[in-house]
Amino acid sequence: MVELCKTYLPPDMQATLEELKEKPEELKAYGVRQVVELIRQIKAANIGCNHYHFYTINTTKQTFGALKEMGILKE
């Protein structure tokens, strides 16, 4: 997918994704952690970015997980 999109992933992330490719639940949890950390970094930069778009491909469970982790969505 990275090649198809002509994008870049850091080597450590590539290695983790390769390691987790046969462990779907761990892979999803890793993705949620990455998204949460990225949004926290963007918010901490105080650059006025207050809205975020999640491209879910019709799978929202991980998005809800990220929103809960950030305290945006309550149970």
DSSP run (H or E) holding 67: helix 61-69
What's CA 36's distance to the chain center, in Å?
6
How high is the mean pLDDT in each 10-residue block of the chain (75 residues)? 86 95 95 94 93 86 91 84
pLDDT at residue 25, rounded to an integer: 95
Q: How far apart are CA 48 and CA 63, in angstroms?
A: 22
Question: What pLDDT score was predicted for residue 33?
Answer: 95
Q: Minimal CA–CA distance to 36: which of 65, 10, 13, 6? A: 65
Domain parsing of the chain, residue ranges? 11-69
pTM to 2 decimal places: 0.81
